[in-house]
Amino acid sequence: MKRIGILDATEEIILESGYAAVSSRSVATRMGMQAPHVHYYFATIDDLFVAVLHRRASQGVEHMTEALDAEEPLRAWWELASDQRGTALLVELLAAANHRPALKAEMAAMARDVRALQMERLATLTLEYGLDPDRFPPVLLAAAMQGLAFSVVTDQAAGYDTHPADAAAAMVRLLTELEERRARRPRP
């Protein structure tokens, strides 16, 4: 129970103040305990960051699988990829990974596994949507979906005047067209 509380507290600190604000002392203060108790559950701060990543990554893979198996897979994927809280946490973990090799290695493995899942499912979905896999290979679709969602959410969060709402609206229109096309196509 304390382990979960420590992970929750760490995520909240990351989201409120950034990854650099995470220390055994800041987490312990948030939990109402002494700093050494944090190290009872996580030997190092790197171990704590990796545990936060693993928890969110396992949930993320589960949610991605559900999205790709949904009635409207691309729309469900877009909604998942456009989650502001998840993206904010990812941005901070990416920044932390630049300074923490153990976290960087774990993030690379997670990204590889998620992309493999996406591409495996997209190999079938491209045909269901009537897309030419030579023109729109799964790797392109996966990178475009994730990349645009990431860009839109981070630009919105930062308040950048890059027209993220327009980009999101254009994607929703495209997804609507693709989902309607898929619904009209005969399924095997």
Domain spans, the chain: 1-43, 49-184
Q: Does domain 1-43 have CATH number 1.10.10.60?
A: yes
- DSSP assignment letter at 23: -
54-83 average pLDDT score: 94
Its pTM stands at 0.86
Give the tokens for residue 103.
């976290």
Give the tokens for residue 89.
């946490």
Greatest distance between any 2 Cα atoms in the chain: 62
pLDDT digits (tens, 9 = 90+) for 134-164: 999 999 999 999 999 999 999 998 899 999 9
